[in-house]
Amino acid sequence: MTTLIEFRGVGKTFGGVTALDGVDLSIEAGEIYAVIGHSGAGKSTLVRLMNALERATSGNVLVDGTDITNLPERRLRQVRLGIGMVFQQFNLLRSRTVFGNVAYPLKVAGWTKADREKRVTELLNFVGITDRAWHYPDQLSGGQKQRVGIARALATNPKILLADESTSALDPETTGEVLRLLQRVNQEFGVTIVVITHEMEVVREIADRVAVLQDGRVIEHGPVREVFAAPREQTTKRFVETVLRARPEPGDLERIRQRHPGRLVTARISDDRRIGAVLSEAQSRYDVRFEVVHGGVKELGSTSFGSLTLELVGEDASVDKLIADLRAATDVEELA
Ligand SMILES: Nc1ncnc2c1ncn2[C@@H]1O[C@H](COP(=O)(O)OP(=O)(O)OP(=O)(O)O)[C@@H](O)[C@H]1O
């Protein structure tokens, strides 16, 4: 595997404010890498260091084999040509048509009119917006604008696409469409994509690996499947819970309690943790009845995982035994 973007002990301060602190990252060619964090965690600073819109205060940033940390401005031009960017607010030129927006970076790069027309036509076709070629940005929906944004970012054939909160302004359905488009960009053109987001659902839908950023530090990173299956840090656990409806929210729990007076447990479900075998014997072996009262299961690549909250009704000692056996199979939390 080839490393395309590498951060070695990168720090960035603005005046007295530390935006990034000792960040090590390694993004491989061909992957979709997500960086997730709350507002102020340092995500935008991280992206801006990748295309040298900001310079690191300490450490080194390498892009496609070149150390860009202190590269002179004139040589950065070449590096930036290999990087496309997609923004939350689309950043389209309002005075130009869809065609004109996508053609713009090609014009700047000195392409001939004929080459530009051929390339733009190709790109509009790829993102599925050919019928809007002569519309202006104000006449487009958010999802359509972002398709144009993606076409424009791809115009000069970059190896890397940086998507900074590219779906944050979109509704869930449109978000799904844009994420599927980014996935096609990755698969069909082999473009390496860095997705900056504060939504774990986005990470689940498209990323191969993820880094969790908090207060300017990477607190956890790894393959998305592993991070979802076994998050270590509190912040990561909370991000994972936003996707999984892990435990009932306090309000929901109160309502569940009114209808289900028995003992309540939340159990983690995943393909490698088979709680079904234990539950199938709940009645016959433990003399405990159970009911599913909350939860959800999601797909992640080829596996599914999630959590279920169960009401267990029976003698206390029997319920204890059942919980102990469930615990041997997976993570189980009894709700007070
Ligand atoms: N140009 C700047 N001048 C001063 N402080 C800055 C500058 N840019 C970022 N910061 C500070 O650095 C920290 C990280 O900011 P950054 O914008 O990278 O976070 P973020 O995770 O992208 O947040 P958001 O999701 O809200 O955009 C914050 O404390 C921010 O106030």
Question: What does the pLDDT look like over 134-175, one tens digit per residue?
Answer: 999 999 999 999 999 999 999 999 999 999 988 888 888 889
Q: Is the CB of 44 under 6 A from ligand 1?
A: yes
Q: What is the DSSP letter of 249?
A: -
pTM of this prediction exceeds 0.90? no
Which region, left, alpha or beta, applies to residue 287 given φ > 0 means left and ψ of -120 to 50 means alpha? left
Angle at 305 between CA 300 and CA 309, to 5 degrees: 150
185-207 pLDDT, tens digit per residue, is: 999 999 999 999 999 999 999 99
Q: Is 213 exposed, middle or buried (0-12, 13-18, 19+ CB in 10 A)?
A: buried
Q: Is the CB of 43 under 6 A from ligand 1?
A: yes
Q: Is the CB of 212 under 6 A from ligand 1?
A: no
Residue 271 has pLDDT above 80, yes or no: no
Q: From atom 10 of ligand 1, which residue's Cα is the shortest distance away? A: 19
Q: Is ipTM over 0.90?
A: yes
What domains can be seen in the chain, in order of their start residue? 3-242 (3.40.50.300), 245-335 (3.30.70.260)
Q: Is the CB of 42 under 6 A from ligand 1?
A: yes
Under 8 Å between Cβ of 153 and 101: no
